């Protein structure tokens, strides 16, 4: 009943966004649950994820604020200069309704790192969006092939530390058919070939009798071993130790060959979104790169919060 209530609240927000001309794509959540299981609340989700154009982020956030949503963690900057910095360094922001608890993550980039040329990715997204009627509202979602690709990349870059993501892959492979030629073209265009055999390796580990993704890419055994190691961690926290955090950084850098991707992965250690709240920092990207190690030390010793 709570799940149905949350979906009803989200649909009201979806209608409001559409009335304001804000187009968005639904990521995962109830539409994925509906696609896989034929039931929008069978797959548990703690939030609703939507992808909007970067130039619509401010309008979206202001609209949600007017409807009673607040920032539970990181507050969106007021100044345009710091907003541009946030848009550059981050890919999403979370808001929660103070009364109902409905949580929405607003994304303006599909992935936190550039896995391919942005214009190429935008074209792929445009070519793989489909409209679907859901609860009396027309919503946008990805095609089956692009959604499978998205799930594999999302799970892969996080080293599959949440097994729920792997269950999604296992179930969708068992229940749906795919145009594999189209799928592999998407994978190739995004330089994500290593992620497919890693996913197959995880499926073999946990679902040995299930279906696999047809693929002839050489198996990156060392990367797959790291992902399996993350799944085996009882804590479920990939940053439980600094050693594991460094291991994951190196793992992510090796997943995609592009220099842009590797540089974006390093943002984890070269930028902290908390620094955006310090109004005395000059609103230029270079200062946030330079301040990162200083801010880390000052927060550790309690000088900054």
Whether 237 shows a pLDDT value over 80: the answer reads: no
Whether 37 shows a pLDDT value over 80: the answer reads: yes
What backbone phi and psi angles, to 5 degrees, belong to 137?
-125, 140
24 touches 52 (CB < 8 A): yes
Specify the residue for token string 């540089």.
Answer: 263
- Hey, what are 112's tokens? 């936190």
At 298 the pLDDT is: 85
- Hey, what are 154's tokens? 């999302």
**Predicted structure pTM score:** 0.93
pLDDT digits (tens, 9 = 90+) for 238-283: 777 888 888 899 999 999 998 999 999 988 778 888 898 888 999 9
- Phi-psi group of 260: left, alpha or beta (phi > 0 → left; psi -120 to 50 → alpha; rest → beta): alpha
Total residue count of the chain as it appears in this document = 305
At 22 the pLDDT is: 96
Whether 168 shows a pLDDT value over 80: the answer reads: yes
Specify the residue for token string 């609703």.
Answer: 48
Whether 305 shows a pLDDT value over 80: the answer reads: no
At 150 the pLDDT is: 97
96 touches 103 (CB < 8 A): yes
Helix, strand, coil tally for the chain in percent (to 5): 55, 10, 35
pLDDT digits (tens, 9 = 90+) for 8-20: 999 999 999 999 9
Strands lying side by side in the sheet with 48-51 = 69-70, 92-97, 103-107, 48-51, 25-27, 137-142, 129-134
pLDDT digits (tens, 9 = 90+) for 39-90: 999 988 888 999 999 999 999 999 999 999 999 988 999 999 999 999 999 9
- Hey, what are 303's tokens? 């000088």
DSSP one-letter string for 198-217: HHHHHHHHH-TTS------S
């Amino acid at each position: 009943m709570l799940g149905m209530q949350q979906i009803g609240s989200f649909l009201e927000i979806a209608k409001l966004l559409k009335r304001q001309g804000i187009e968005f794509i639904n990521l995962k959540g109830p539409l994925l649950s509906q696609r896989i299981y034929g039931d929008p609340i069978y797959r548990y989700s703690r939030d609703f994820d939507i992808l909007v154009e970067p130039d619509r982020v401010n309008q979206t956030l202001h609209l949600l604020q007017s409807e009673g949503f607040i920032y539970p963690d990181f507050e969106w900057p007021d100044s345009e200069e710091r907003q541009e910095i946030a848009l550059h360094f981050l890919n999403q922001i979370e808001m929660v309704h103070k009364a109902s608890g409905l949580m929405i993550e607003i994304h303006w980039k599909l992935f936190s790192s550039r896995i391919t040329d942005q214009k190429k990715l935008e074209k792929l997204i445009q070519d793989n969006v489909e409209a679907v009627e859901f609860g009396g509202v027309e919503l946008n979602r990805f095609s089956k092939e692009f959604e499978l690709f998205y799930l594999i990349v999302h799970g892969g870059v996080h080293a599959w530390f949440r097994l729920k993501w792997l269950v999604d892959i296992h179930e969708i492979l068992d229940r749906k058919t795919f145009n594999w030629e189209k799928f592999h073209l998407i994978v190739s265009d995004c330089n994500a070939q290593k992620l497919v055999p890693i996913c197959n390796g995880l499926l073999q580990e946990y679902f040995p009798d299930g279906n696999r993704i047809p693929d002839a890419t050489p198996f990156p055994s060392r990367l797959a071993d790291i992902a399996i190691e993350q799944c085996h961690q009882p804590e479920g926290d990939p940053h439980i130790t600094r050693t594991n955090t460094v291991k994951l950084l190196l793992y992510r850098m090796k997943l995609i060959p592009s220099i842009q991707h590797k540089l974006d992965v390093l943002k984890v250690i070269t930028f902290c979104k908390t620094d955006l709240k310090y109004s005395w920092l000059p609103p230029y990207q270079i200062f946030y790169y330079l301040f990162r190690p200083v801010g880390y030390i000052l927060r550790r010793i309690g000088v900054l919060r």
